[in-house]
């Protein structure tokens, strides 16, 4: 079946460090890919998405590129801030309109 695998956390970085959170997926057909974020005490919200191969989603300095050849959608940010501390979820929607989420990666950024 379809699935999403993302790197396990927790991840702790110093402010201004480079961030990568790996995400790979298994799906038939051509899924759309997402990163959702959950800030402390808040609900899940969309961070970025890509709907076809080679698309790059970007928002708030975060980027992720839909790589069909490696079935990956890694999240990156060049310089993290304390305010980026949150739990990040990789997700896909398949052609049957079913969503699959990864287990989440907790990020803590220290000053």
Partner 1 sequence: GAGVSQSPSNKVTEKGKDVELRCDPISGHTALYWYRQSLGQGLEFLIYFQGNSAPDKSGLPSDRFSAERTGGSVSTLTIQRTQQEDSAVYLCASSLDRGPYEQYFGPGTRLTVT
The residues of the shown chain that bind partner 1, judged by CB under 8 A, are 4, 32, 34, 36, 43-46, 49, 51, 89, 91, 93, 96-104
What tokens were used for 107?
A: 């990020």
The least distance separating partner 1 from the CB of residue 103, rounded to whole angstroms, comes to 4
CB of 13 to partner 1, least distance (A): 22
Which residues have C-beta within 8 Å of that of residue 65, sequence separation ≥ 6?
50, 54, 55, 56, 57, 73, 74
Least distance between partner 1 and beta carbon 14 (Å) = 26
């Amino acid at each position: 079946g379809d699935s999403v695998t993302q790197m396990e956390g927790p991840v702790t970085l110093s402010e201004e460090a480079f961030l990568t959170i790996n995400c790979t997926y298994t799906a038939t057909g051509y899924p759309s890919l997402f990163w959702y974020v959950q800030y402390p005490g808040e609900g899940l919200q969309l961070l970025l998405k890509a709907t076809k191969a080679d698309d790059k989603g970007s928002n708030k300095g975060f980027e992720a590129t839909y790589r069909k050849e490696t079935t990956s959608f890694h999240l990156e940010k060049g310089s993290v801030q304390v305010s980026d501390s949150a739990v990040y979820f990789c997700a896909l929607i398949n052609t049957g309109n079913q969503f699959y989420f990864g287990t989440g990666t907790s990020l803590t950024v220290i000053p």
